[in-house]
Chains A and B, each alone.
Chain A
Protein backbone atom coordinates (compact mmCIF):
# COMPACT_ATOMS: atom_id res chain seq x y z
CA UNK A 1 0.00 0.00 0.00
CA UNK A 2 1.04 3.57 -0.69
CA UNK A 3 2.04 5.71 2.20
CA UNK A 4 -0.45 8.43 3.05
CA UNK A 5 0.51 12.02 3.87
CA UNK A 6 -0.36 11.34 7.46
CA UNK A 7 1.89 8.28 7.65
CA UNK A 8 4.76 10.32 6.38
CA UNK A 9 4.16 13.13 8.80
CA UNK A 10 3.89 10.82 11.76
CA UNK A 11 7.06 9.14 10.66
CA UNK A 12 8.69 12.56 10.67
CA UNK A 13 7.73 13.01 14.29
CA UNK A 14 4.84 15.44 13.80
CA UNK A 15 2.23 14.98 16.52
CA UNK A 16 -1.42 14.46 15.70
CA UNK A 17 -2.21 17.68 17.49
CA UNK A 18 0.20 19.62 15.30
CA UNK A 19 -1.19 17.86 12.28
CA UNK A 20 -4.76 18.93 13.06
CA UNK A 21 -3.57 22.45 13.72
CA UNK A 22 -1.96 22.48 10.33
CA UNK A 23 -5.19 21.32 8.72
CA UNK A 24 -7.22 24.17 10.16
CA UNK A 25 -4.54 26.71 9.27
CA UNK A 26 -4.45 25.36 5.74
CA UNK A 27 -8.23 25.69 5.52
CA UNK A 28 -7.87 29.29 6.68
CA UNK A 29 -5.13 30.09 4.20
CA UNK A 30 -7.24 28.68 1.41
CA UNK A 31 -10.17 30.85 2.36
CA UNK A 32 -12.24 27.81 3.32
CA UNK A 33 -14.43 27.65 6.37
CA UNK A 34 -13.07 25.88 9.47
CA UNK A 35 -15.51 23.10 8.63
CA UNK A 36 -13.13 22.06 5.90
CA UNK A 37 -10.33 21.27 8.33
CA UNK A 38 -11.61 17.75 9.05
CA UNK A 39 -11.97 17.18 5.32
CA UNK A 40 -8.36 18.17 4.78
CA UNK A 41 -7.33 15.97 7.67
CA UNK A 42 -9.26 13.03 6.29
CA UNK A 43 -7.82 13.47 2.86
CA UNK A 44 -4.36 13.50 4.27
CA UNK A 45 -4.97 10.43 6.36
CA UNK A 46 -6.34 8.35 3.55
CA UNK A 47 -4.83 9.53 0.31
CA UNK A 48 -1.54 8.32 -1.03
CA UNK A 49 0.85 11.18 -1.35
CA UNK A 50 1.26 12.57 -4.81
CA UNK A 51 4.68 12.96 -6.31
CA UNK A 52 5.82 16.28 -7.65
CA UNK A 53 8.49 16.74 -10.24
CA UNK A 54 9.98 20.18 -9.89
CA UNK A 55 11.82 21.31 -13.02
CA UNK A 56 14.07 24.33 -13.33
CA UNK A 57 14.47 26.30 -16.54
CA UNK A 58 15.92 29.79 -16.81
CA UNK A 59 15.43 31.06 -13.29
CA UNK A 60 17.17 32.46 -10.23
CA UNK A 61 15.85 29.91 -7.70
CA UNK A 62 14.01 32.58 -5.74
CA UNK A 63 10.84 30.48 -5.99
CA UNK A 64 12.56 27.52 -4.33
CA UNK A 65 14.09 29.83 -1.76
CA UNK A 66 10.70 31.25 -0.95
CA UNK A 67 9.06 27.82 -0.86
CA UNK A 68 11.44 26.28 1.66
CA UNK A 69 11.00 29.30 3.90
CA UNK A 70 7.32 28.85 4.37
CA UNK A 71 7.23 30.28 7.83
CA UNK A 72 4.03 28.65 8.78
CA UNK A 73 5.39 26.57 11.67
CA UNK A 74 4.59 23.25 10.10
CA UNK A 75 4.43 23.95 6.45
CA UNK A 76 8.10 23.38 5.99
CA UNK A 77 7.90 19.89 7.42
CA UNK A 78 4.43 19.09 6.31
CA UNK A 79 4.68 20.22 2.77
CA UNK A 80 8.11 18.84 2.20
CA UNK A 81 7.10 15.48 3.51
CA UNK A 82 3.66 15.57 2.05
CA UNK A 83 4.68 15.97 -1.52
CA UNK A 84 7.36 13.64 -2.55
CA UNK A 85 9.59 16.10 -4.22
CA UNK A 86 11.04 13.34 -6.29
CA UNK A 87 13.00 15.58 -8.50
CA UNK A 88 14.11 19.09 -7.66
CA UNK A 89 17.67 19.61 -8.72
CA UNK A 90 18.22 22.35 -6.18
CA UNK A 91 17.32 20.44 -3.05
CA UNK A 92 17.45 16.74 -3.85
CA UNK A 93 20.31 14.56 -2.72
CA UNK A 94 20.88 12.73 -5.95
CA UNK A 95 22.99 14.20 -8.72
CA UNK A 96 23.99 13.50 -12.29
CA UNK A 97 22.61 10.45 -14.08
CA UNK A 98 21.06 9.23 -10.89
CA UNK A 99 19.01 12.40 -10.63
CA UNK A 100 17.85 12.26 -14.21
CA UNK A 101 16.85 8.63 -13.74
CA UNK A 102 14.36 9.72 -11.09
CA UNK A 103 12.36 11.55 -13.71
CA UNK A 104 11.91 8.48 -15.86
CA UNK A 105 11.15 6.36 -12.84
CA UNK A 106 8.43 8.72 -11.65
CA UNK A 107 6.96 8.93 -15.10
CA UNK A 108 6.82 5.15 -15.32
CA UNK A 109 5.37 4.66 -11.86
CA UNK A 110 2.90 7.51 -11.77
CA UNK A 111 2.12 8.15 -15.41
CA UNK A 112 -0.61 10.78 -15.57
CA UNK A 113 -0.71 11.04 -11.79
CA UNK A 114 2.02 13.37 -10.71
CA UNK A 115 2.19 17.14 -10.64
CA UNK A 116 4.73 18.99 -12.69
CA UNK A 117 5.98 22.16 -11.02
CA UNK A 118 7.94 24.45 -13.31
CA UNK A 119 10.25 27.08 -11.97
CA UNK A 120 11.74 29.33 -14.63
CA UNK A 121 11.03 29.14 -18.31
CA UNK A 122 12.33 27.82 -21.58
CA UNK A 123 14.36 29.92 -24.02
CA UNK A 124 13.30 28.98 -27.54
CA UNK A 125 15.96 30.66 -29.65
CA UNK A 126 18.78 28.51 -31.07
CA UNK A 127 16.59 25.43 -30.53
CA UNK A 128 16.56 26.01 -26.80
CA UNK A 129 20.33 25.99 -26.52
CA UNK A 130 20.39 28.73 -23.89
CA UNK A 131 19.26 26.36 -21.18
CA UNK A 132 20.67 22.88 -21.19
CA UNK A 133 19.70 20.30 -18.58
CA UNK A 134 21.59 17.01 -18.61
CA UNK A 135 22.88 17.70 -22.09
CA UNK A 136 19.51 18.47 -23.63
CA UNK A 137 17.57 21.69 -24.10
CA UNK A 138 15.28 22.38 -21.15
CA UNK A 139 12.32 22.87 -23.46
CA UNK A 140 12.52 19.18 -24.45
CA UNK A 141 12.58 18.03 -20.86
CA UNK A 142 9.63 20.28 -20.15
CA UNK A 143 7.53 18.88 -23.00
CA UNK A 144 8.48 15.33 -22.18
CA UNK A 145 7.57 15.51 -18.51
CA UNK A 146 4.43 17.55 -19.20
CA UNK A 147 3.28 14.79 -21.53
CA UNK A 148 2.89 12.47 -18.52
CA UNK A 149 1.86 14.93 -15.82
CA UNK A 150 -1.61 15.34 -14.40
CA UNK A 151 -1.36 19.10 -14.09
CA UNK A 152 1.28 21.81 -14.28
CA UNK A 153 2.08 24.52 -11.79
CA UNK A 154 3.91 27.52 -13.23
CA UNK A 155 5.84 28.82 -10.26
CA UNK A 156 6.68 32.48 -10.20
CA UNK A 157 6.71 35.21 -12.81
CA UNK A 158 9.25 33.35 -15.00
CA UNK A 159 7.04 30.37 -15.65
CA UNK A 160 3.85 32.44 -15.57
CA UNK A 161 4.80 35.47 -17.68
CA UNK A 162 8.49 35.42 -18.62
CA UNK A 163 9.99 37.79 -16.03
CA UNK A 164 13.44 39.36 -16.37
CA UNK A 165 14.88 36.99 -18.96
CA UNK A 166 11.89 37.80 -21.18
CA UNK A 167 12.19 41.56 -20.64
CA UNK A 168 12.71 43.55 -23.82
CA UNK A 169 14.41 42.66 -26.07
CA UNK A 170 14.23 39.08 -24.73
CA UNK A 171 17.50 37.96 -26.35
CA UNK A 172 16.95 34.22 -25.85
CA UNK A 173 13.19 34.28 -26.52
CA UNK A 174 12.45 33.05 -23.01
CA UNK A 175 8.86 31.81 -23.08
CA UNK A 176 6.44 31.13 -20.22
CA UNK A 177 5.04 27.61 -19.85
CA UNK A 178 1.61 28.24 -21.36
CA UNK A 179 3.13 29.79 -24.49
CA UNK A 180 5.67 27.08 -25.27
CA UNK A 181 4.72 25.62 -28.66
CA UNK A 182 3.71 21.95 -28.84
CA UNK A 183 3.08 21.67 -25.13
CA UNK A 184 0.73 18.78 -24.34
CA UNK A 185 -2.71 19.98 -23.38
CA UNK A 186 -2.54 19.90 -19.58
CA UNK A 187 -4.19 22.22 -17.08
CA UNK A 188 -1.77 24.97 -16.06
CA UNK A 189 -2.02 26.97 -12.86
CA UNK A 190 -0.02 30.19 -12.64
CA UNK A 191 1.38 31.31 -9.32
CA UNK A 192 3.14 34.53 -10.32
CA UNK A 193 5.42 36.67 -8.17
CA UNK A 194 9.15 37.16 -8.05
CA UNK A 195 9.10 35.03 -5.99
CA UNK A 196 5.54 34.02 -5.06
CA UNK A 197 4.71 34.21 -1.36
CA UNK A 198 5.68 30.93 0.30
CA UNK A 199 2.35 30.51 2.08
CA UNK A 200 0.61 30.96 -1.24
CA UNK A 201 2.78 28.26 -2.80
CA UNK A 202 2.20 25.77 -0.02
CA UNK A 203 -1.51 26.52 0.13
CA UNK A 204 -1.88 25.91 -3.60
CA UNK A 205 -0.15 22.55 -3.29
CA UNK A 206 -2.14 21.60 -0.21
CA UNK A 207 -5.35 22.36 -2.06
CA UNK A 208 -4.41 20.32 -5.08
CA UNK A 209 -3.35 17.35 -3.00
CA UNK A 210 -6.27 17.26 -0.63
CA UNK A 211 -9.08 18.00 -3.03
CA UNK A 212 -7.42 16.38 -6.02
CA UNK A 213 -8.42 19.22 -8.26
CA UNK A 214 -7.26 22.67 -9.25
CA UNK A 215 -8.26 25.57 -7.02
CA UNK A 216 -10.64 27.85 -8.90
CA UNK A 217 -8.71 30.03 -11.30
CA UNK A 218 -9.34 33.45 -12.78
CA UNK A 219 -9.42 33.85 -16.55
CA UNK A 220 -5.67 34.31 -16.61
CA UNK A 221 -5.10 31.03 -14.80
CA UNK A 222 -4.21 32.34 -11.35
CA UNK A 223 -5.82 30.91 -8.19
CA UNK A 224 -8.63 33.28 -7.32
CA UNK A 225 -8.12 33.04 -3.59
CA UNK A 226 -4.77 34.80 -3.77
CA UNK A 227 -4.86 36.85 -6.94
CA UNK A 228 -8.27 38.42 -7.20
CA UNK A 229 -7.39 41.62 -5.39
CA UNK A 230 -4.72 44.22 -5.86
CA UNK A 231 -2.13 45.14 -3.25
CA UNK A 232 -3.75 48.60 -3.24
CA UNK A 233 -7.17 47.19 -2.30
CA UNK A 234 -5.93 45.90 1.05
CA UNK A 235 -2.91 48.11 1.64
CA UNK A 236 -2.69 49.46 5.15
CA UNK A 237 -1.42 52.80 3.70
CA UNK A 238 -4.58 53.17 1.62
CA UNK A 239 -6.16 55.74 3.96
CA UNK A 240 -3.20 58.02 3.20
CA UNK A 241 -3.78 57.50 -0.50
CA UNK A 242 -7.41 58.55 -0.20
CA UNK A 243 -6.45 61.51 1.97
CA UNK A 244 -3.84 62.70 -0.53
CA UNK A 245 -0.88 62.16 1.79
CA UNK A 246 2.11 60.97 -0.18
CA UNK A 247 5.79 60.27 0.18
CA UNK A 248 7.35 62.74 -2.29
CA UNK A 249 10.96 61.79 -1.58
CA UNK A 250 12.34 58.84 0.33
CA UNK A 251 13.78 61.02 3.08
CA UNK A 252 10.90 63.41 3.62
CA UNK A 253 8.47 63.81 6.49
CA UNK A 254 5.83 61.77 4.67
CA UNK A 255 8.20 58.80 4.42
CA UNK A 256 8.73 58.92 8.17
CA UNK A 257 5.02 59.11 8.80
CA UNK A 258 4.33 56.12 6.57
CA UNK A 259 2.33 57.96 3.91
CA UNK A 260 1.26 56.36 0.65
CA UNK A 261 4.04 55.50 -1.82
CA UNK A 262 2.02 56.20 -4.97
CA UNK A 263 4.11 59.17 -6.05
CA UNK A 264 7.37 57.30 -5.71
CA UNK A 265 6.11 54.74 -8.18
CA UNK A 266 4.09 52.25 -6.14
CA UNK A 267 2.56 49.65 -8.47
CA UNK A 268 0.17 48.42 -5.77
CA UNK A 269 -2.81 49.84 -7.70
CA UNK A 270 -2.01 47.64 -10.70
CA UNK A 271 -0.69 44.51 -9.03
CA UNK A 272 -2.66 41.38 -8.19
CA UNK A 273 -1.14 39.53 -5.27
CA UNK A 274 -1.71 38.73 -1.63
CA UNK A 275 1.26 40.63 -0.12
CA UNK A 276 -0.87 43.18 1.70
CA UNK A 277 -2.90 40.44 3.42
CA UNK A 278 -0.67 37.37 3.77
CA UNK A 279 2.55 39.42 3.90
CA UNK A 280 6.00 37.84 3.95
CA UNK A 281 8.26 35.94 6.27
CA UNK A 282 5.47 34.61 8.39
CA UNK A 283 3.38 37.74 8.20
CA UNK A 284 6.23 39.89 9.41
CA UNK A 285 6.24 42.55 6.74
CA UNK A 286 6.03 43.24 3.00
CA UNK A 287 7.79 45.78 0.76
CA UNK A 288 5.33 48.63 1.32
CA UNK A 289 5.45 48.10 5.07
CA UNK A 290 9.23 48.41 4.82
CA UNK A 291 8.78 51.78 3.10
CA UNK A 292 9.46 50.71 -0.47
CA UNK A 293 6.94 51.02 -3.29
CA UNK A 294 5.56 47.81 -4.74
CA UNK A 295 7.35 47.05 -8.03
CA UNK A 296 4.53 44.90 -9.37
CA UNK A 297 6.58 41.68 -9.53
CA UNK A 298 3.59 39.40 -10.04
CA UNK A 299 2.40 41.26 -13.14
CA UNK A 300 3.07 40.38 -16.75
CA UNK A 301 6.06 42.29 -18.13
CA UNK A 302 6.69 44.32 -14.98
CA UNK A 303 10.30 44.93 -16.04
CA UNK A 304 9.14 46.82 -19.09
CA UNK A 305 6.79 49.31 -17.48
CA UNK A 306 9.29 52.10 -17.01
CA UNK A 307 11.10 52.96 -13.79
CA UNK A 308 10.11 51.28 -10.56
CA UNK A 309 10.00 54.75 -9.02
CA UNK A 310 7.77 56.40 -11.63
CA UNK A 311 4.03 56.35 -11.37
CA UNK A 312 3.51 56.81 -15.12
CA UNK A 313 4.97 54.33 -17.56
CA UNK A 314 7.43 55.47 -20.19
CA UNK A 315 6.17 54.69 -23.65
CA UNK A 316 8.78 53.76 -26.20
CA UNK A 317 8.59 54.36 -29.90
CA UNK A 318 8.39 58.12 -29.85
CA UNK A 319 12.07 58.51 -30.59
CA UNK A 320 12.72 59.36 -27.00
CA UNK A 321 11.18 57.77 -23.97
CA UNK A 322 8.30 59.80 -22.65
CA UNK A 323 5.33 59.15 -20.40
CA UNK A 324 1.71 59.68 -21.40
CA UNK A 325 1.66 63.24 -20.06
CA UNK A 326 4.83 64.27 -21.85
CA UNK A 327 3.53 62.84 -25.13
CA UNK A 328 0.11 64.39 -24.54
CA UNK A 329 1.29 67.89 -23.65
CA UNK A 330 3.51 67.89 -26.72
CA UNK A 331 0.62 66.80 -28.94
CA UNK A 332 -1.75 69.31 -27.33
CA UNK A 333 0.85 72.08 -27.72
CA UNK A 334 1.25 71.24 -31.39
CA UNK A 335 -2.51 71.17 -31.95
CA UNK A 336 -2.99 74.36 -29.91
CA UNK A 337 -0.10 76.07 -31.68
CA UNK A 338 -1.43 74.99 -35.05
CA UNK A 339 -4.87 76.37 -34.14
CA UNK A 340 -3.33 79.69 -33.06
CA UNK A 341 -1.27 80.00 -36.24
CA UNK A 342 -4.28 78.97 -38.30
CA UNK A 343 -6.36 81.62 -36.55
CA UNK A 344 -3.69 84.24 -37.23
CA UNK A 345 -3.47 83.34 -40.90
CA UNK A 346 -7.28 83.27 -41.14
CA UNK A 347 -7.48 86.82 -39.81
CA UNK A 348 -4.79 88.05 -42.20
CA UNK A 349 -6.52 86.35 -45.13
CA UNK A 350 -9.88 87.76 -44.12
CA UNK A 351 -8.45 91.27 -43.99
CA UNK A 352 -6.73 90.79 -47.32
CA UNK A 353 -9.96 89.43 -48.78
CA UNK A 354 -11.91 92.40 -47.47
CA UNK A 355 -9.37 94.59 -49.18
CA UNK A 356 -10.02 92.74 -52.44
CA UNK A 357 -13.78 93.05 -52.04
CA UNK A 358 -13.62 96.79 -51.48
Chain B
Protein backbone atom coordinates (compact mmCIF):
# COMPACT_ATOMS: atom_id res chain seq x y z
CA UNK B 1 0.00 0.00 0.00
CA UNK B 2 1.20 3.44 -0.95
CA UNK B 3 2.07 5.56 2.07
CA UNK B 4 0.34 8.57 0.56
CA UNK B 5 -2.84 6.62 -0.09
CA UNK B 6 -5.75 8.64 1.29
CA UNK B 7 -8.50 6.25 0.25
CA UNK B 8 -8.01 2.54 -0.09
CA UNK B 9 -10.85 0.25 -1.23
CA UNK B 10 -10.55 -3.50 -1.39
CA UNK B 11 -13.23 -5.85 -2.72
CA UNK B 12 -16.11 -3.48 -2.05
CA UNK B 13 -19.55 -4.96 -2.67
CA UNK B 14 -22.86 -3.24 -2.19
CA UNK B 15 -26.08 -5.18 -2.34
CA UNK B 16 -29.39 -3.33 -2.08
CA UNK B 17 -32.42 -5.15 -0.77
CA UNK B 18 -32.74 -8.78 0.21
CA UNK B 19 -33.56 -12.12 -1.36
CA UNK B 20 -35.15 -12.11 -4.81
CA UNK B 21 -35.47 -8.34 -4.84
CA UNK B 22 -31.80 -7.80 -4.08
CA UNK B 23 -29.56 -5.95 -6.48
CA UNK B 24 -25.80 -5.89 -6.49
CA UNK B 25 -24.85 -2.31 -7.33
CA UNK B 26 -21.11 -2.69 -6.68
CA UNK B 27 -19.42 -5.96 -7.53
CA UNK B 28 -15.96 -5.78 -6.07
CA UNK B 29 -14.32 -2.38 -6.30
CA UNK B 30 -10.58 -2.01 -5.68
CA UNK B 31 -9.33 1.53 -5.68
CA UNK B 32 -6.59 3.77 -4.33
CA UNK B 33 -6.85 7.54 -4.24
CA UNK B 34 -3.82 9.57 -3.29
CA UNK B 35 -3.91 12.68 -1.20
CA UNK B 36 -4.24 15.76 -3.39
CA UNK B 37 -5.72 14.02 -6.41
CA UNK B 38 -8.59 15.40 -8.48
CA UNK B 39 -10.51 12.40 -9.78
CA UNK B 40 -13.43 12.31 -12.18
CA UNK B 41 -15.75 9.30 -11.98
CA UNK B 42 -17.69 8.60 -15.15
CA UNK B 43 -20.02 5.95 -16.38
CA UNK B 44 -23.55 5.33 -17.63
CA UNK B 45 -26.61 5.98 -15.52
CA UNK B 46 -27.22 3.22 -13.00
CA UNK B 47 -23.68 1.94 -13.14
CA UNK B 48 -23.13 2.55 -9.41
CA UNK B 49 -21.36 5.91 -9.25
CA UNK B 50 -23.56 7.45 -6.58
CA UNK B 51 -23.51 4.21 -4.61
CA UNK B 52 -19.70 4.34 -4.61
CA UNK B 53 -19.63 8.01 -3.63
CA UNK B 54 -22.00 7.41 -0.72
CA UNK B 55 -19.74 4.67 0.60
CA UNK B 56 -16.67 6.83 0.20
CA UNK B 57 -18.39 9.74 1.95
CA UNK B 58 -19.26 7.46 4.91
CA UNK B 59 -22.95 8.04 4.34
CA UNK B 60 -23.58 4.36 3.76
CA UNK B 61 -21.82 1.10 4.56
CA UNK B 62 -20.65 -1.55 2.10
CA UNK B 63 -22.10 -5.06 2.22
CA UNK B 64 -18.57 -6.43 2.22
CA UNK B 65 -15.02 -5.33 1.55
CA UNK B 66 -12.76 -2.98 3.36
CA UNK B 67 -12.48 0.80 3.23
CA UNK B 68 -9.55 2.63 4.74
CA UNK B 69 -9.52 6.40 4.97
CA UNK B 70 -6.11 7.76 5.93
CA UNK B 71 -5.31 4.28 7.15
CA UNK B 72 -8.39 4.13 9.42
CA UNK B 73 -10.62 1.12 8.97
CA UNK B 74 -13.91 2.91 8.43
CA UNK B 75 -16.03 -0.21 9.04
CA UNK B 76 -14.64 -0.41 12.57
CA UNK B 77 -15.88 3.10 13.42
CA UNK B 78 -19.17 3.51 15.23
CA UNK B 79 -21.90 5.92 14.13
CA UNK B 80 -20.63 8.82 16.17
CA UNK B 81 -17.08 8.39 14.97
CA UNK B 82 -18.27 8.31 11.36
CA UNK B 83 -20.26 11.49 12.01
CA UNK B 84 -17.14 13.15 13.35
CA UNK B 85 -15.11 11.96 10.36
CA UNK B 86 -17.71 13.53 8.05
CA UNK B 87 -17.75 16.68 10.15
CA UNK B 88 -14.02 17.32 10.23
CA UNK B 89 -12.61 15.65 7.11
CA UNK B 90 -15.24 15.18 4.42
CA UNK B 91 -17.42 17.39 2.29
CA UNK B 92 -20.28 16.09 0.18
CA UNK B 93 -22.20 17.58 -2.73
CA UNK B 94 -25.32 15.51 -3.37
CA UNK B 95 -26.78 14.74 -6.75
CA UNK B 96 -30.11 15.85 -5.28
CA UNK B 97 -28.71 18.89 -3.35
CA UNK B 98 -30.33 18.01 -0.01
CA UNK B 99 -30.70 21.52 1.33
CA UNK B 100 -32.80 22.25 4.40
CA UNK B 101 -36.24 23.42 3.32
CA UNK B 102 -37.48 26.88 4.34
CA UNK B 103 -33.96 27.75 5.38
CA UNK B 104 -32.08 30.62 3.77
CA UNK B 105 -29.12 29.93 1.50
CA UNK B 106 -26.67 31.47 3.93
CA UNK B 107 -28.01 29.43 6.85
CA UNK B 108 -27.75 26.26 4.80
CA UNK B 109 -24.13 27.06 4.08
CA UNK B 110 -23.48 27.85 7.74
CA UNK B 111 -24.78 24.50 8.92
CA UNK B 112 -21.56 22.44 8.77
CA UNK B 113 -19.69 25.29 10.47
CA UNK B 114 -22.24 25.28 13.26
CA UNK B 115 -21.54 21.62 13.99
CA UNK B 116 -17.85 22.40 13.92
CA UNK B 117 -18.48 24.84 16.74
CA UNK B 118 -17.51 27.99 14.90
CA UNK B 119 -18.85 31.25 16.34
CA UNK B 120 -21.79 33.06 14.83
CA UNK B 121 -19.95 35.97 13.32
CA UNK B 122 -17.19 33.93 11.79
CA UNK B 123 -19.79 31.49 10.48
CA UNK B 124 -21.76 34.16 8.71
CA UNK B 125 -18.63 35.66 7.20
CA UNK B 126 -17.31 32.34 5.86
CA UNK B 127 -20.74 31.38 4.52
CA UNK B 128 -21.05 34.68 2.68
CA UNK B 129 -17.62 34.25 1.14
CA UNK B 130 -18.52 30.74 -0.02
CA UNK B 131 -21.81 31.95 -1.53
CA UNK B 132 -19.93 34.78 -3.20
CA UNK B 133 -17.48 32.33 -4.75
CA UNK B 134 -20.35 30.45 -6.44
CA UNK B 135 -21.92 33.72 -7.61
CA UNK B 136 -24.85 33.81 -5.21
CA UNK B 137 -23.93 36.78 -3.03
CA UNK B 138 -27.27 38.45 -3.80
CA UNK B 139 -29.36 35.36 -2.96
CA UNK B 140 -28.22 34.64 0.58
CA UNK B 141 -31.64 35.33 2.09
CA UNK B 142 -33.52 33.14 -0.37
CA UNK B 143 -34.74 29.71 0.69
CA UNK B 144 -34.24 26.68 -1.61
CA UNK B 145 -37.85 27.03 -2.78
CA UNK B 146 -37.02 30.50 -4.05
CA UNK B 147 -33.94 29.38 -5.98
CA UNK B 148 -33.57 27.79 -9.41
CA UNK B 149 -32.18 24.26 -9.73
CA UNK B 150 -28.76 25.55 -10.71
CA UNK B 151 -28.77 28.04 -7.83
CA UNK B 152 -29.70 25.32 -5.36
CA UNK B 153 -26.85 23.23 -6.70
CA UNK B 154 -24.47 26.13 -6.15
CA UNK B 155 -25.68 26.55 -2.57
CA UNK B 156 -24.97 22.85 -2.07
CA UNK B 157 -21.48 23.37 -3.51
CA UNK B 158 -20.87 26.34 -1.24
CA UNK B 159 -22.01 24.31 1.77
CA UNK B 160 -19.53 21.54 0.94
CA UNK B 161 -16.65 23.95 0.27
CA UNK B 162 -17.13 26.27 3.21
CA UNK B 163 -15.42 23.96 5.70
CA UNK B 164 -12.46 23.37 3.40
CA UNK B 165 -12.68 19.61 3.99
CA UNK B 166 -9.65 17.40 3.42
CA UNK B 167 -11.65 15.43 0.86
CA UNK B 168 -14.54 16.69 -1.22
CA UNK B 169 -17.04 14.32 -2.83
CA UNK B 170 -19.11 15.87 -5.60
CA UNK B 171 -21.91 13.86 -7.21
CA UNK B 172 -22.56 15.59 -10.55
CA UNK B 173 -21.92 19.07 -9.17
CA UNK B 174 -22.51 20.71 -12.56
CA UNK B 175 -25.48 18.60 -13.64
CA UNK B 176 -27.89 21.55 -13.63
CA UNK B 177 -25.57 24.35 -14.65
CA UNK B 178 -25.02 26.19 -17.92
CA UNK B 179 -21.56 26.06 -19.47
CA UNK B 180 -20.47 29.46 -18.16
CA UNK B 181 -21.42 28.66 -14.54
CA UNK B 182 -20.00 25.18 -14.98
CA UNK B 183 -16.66 26.67 -15.94
CA UNK B 184 -16.73 28.99 -12.92
CA UNK B 185 -17.53 26.15 -10.55
CA UNK B 186 -14.84 23.95 -12.09
CA UNK B 187 -12.32 26.74 -11.74
CA UNK B 188 -13.08 27.15 -8.05
CA UNK B 189 -12.90 23.39 -7.50
CA UNK B 190 -9.54 23.33 -9.33
CA UNK B 191 -8.35 26.17 -7.15
CA UNK B 192 -9.36 24.32 -3.98
CA UNK B 193 -7.50 21.30 -5.28
CA UNK B 194 -4.33 23.12 -6.28
CA UNK B 195 -4.10 25.87 -3.68
CA UNK B 196 -5.47 24.09 -0.59
CA UNK B 197 -4.45 20.59 -1.60
CA UNK B 198 -8.02 19.34 -1.15
CA UNK B 199 -8.59 15.89 -2.62
CA UNK B 200 -11.61 15.91 -4.92
CA UNK B 201 -13.71 13.03 -6.23
CA UNK B 202 -16.30 14.14 -8.72
CA UNK B 203 -18.95 12.24 -10.66
CA UNK B 204 -19.76 13.69 -14.05
CA UNK B 205 -21.29 12.73 -17.35
CA UNK B 206 -19.58 15.49 -19.29
CA UNK B 207 -16.25 14.85 -20.98
CA UNK B 208 -15.15 18.50 -20.83
CA UNK B 209 -15.91 18.68 -17.10
CA UNK B 210 -13.88 15.51 -16.57
CA UNK B 211 -10.99 17.26 -18.33
CA UNK B 212 -10.48 19.47 -15.26
CA UNK B 213 -9.57 16.38 -13.25
CA UNK B 214 -6.16 14.78 -13.26
CA UNK B 215 -7.53 11.25 -13.33
CA UNK B 216 -10.59 9.60 -14.86
CA UNK B 217 -12.22 6.45 -13.53
CA UNK B 218 -14.90 4.72 -15.57
CA UNK B 219 -17.47 2.66 -13.71
CA UNK B 220 -19.46 0.10 -15.64
CA UNK B 221 -22.03 -2.21 -14.11
CA UNK B 222 -20.65 -1.98 -10.58
CA UNK B 223 -17.04 -2.46 -11.57
CA UNK B 224 -14.17 -0.17 -12.53
CA UNK B 225 -13.69 -0.45 -16.27
CA UNK B 226 -10.90 2.11 -16.92
CA UNK B 227 -8.67 4.11 -14.67
CA UNK B 228 -6.44 6.60 -16.46
CA UNK B 229 -4.44 9.74 -15.82
CA UNK B 230 -5.26 12.86 -17.89
CA UNK B 231 -2.45 14.38 -19.87
Q: Do A and B bind each other?
A: no
Binding site for A on B (CB under 8 A): none
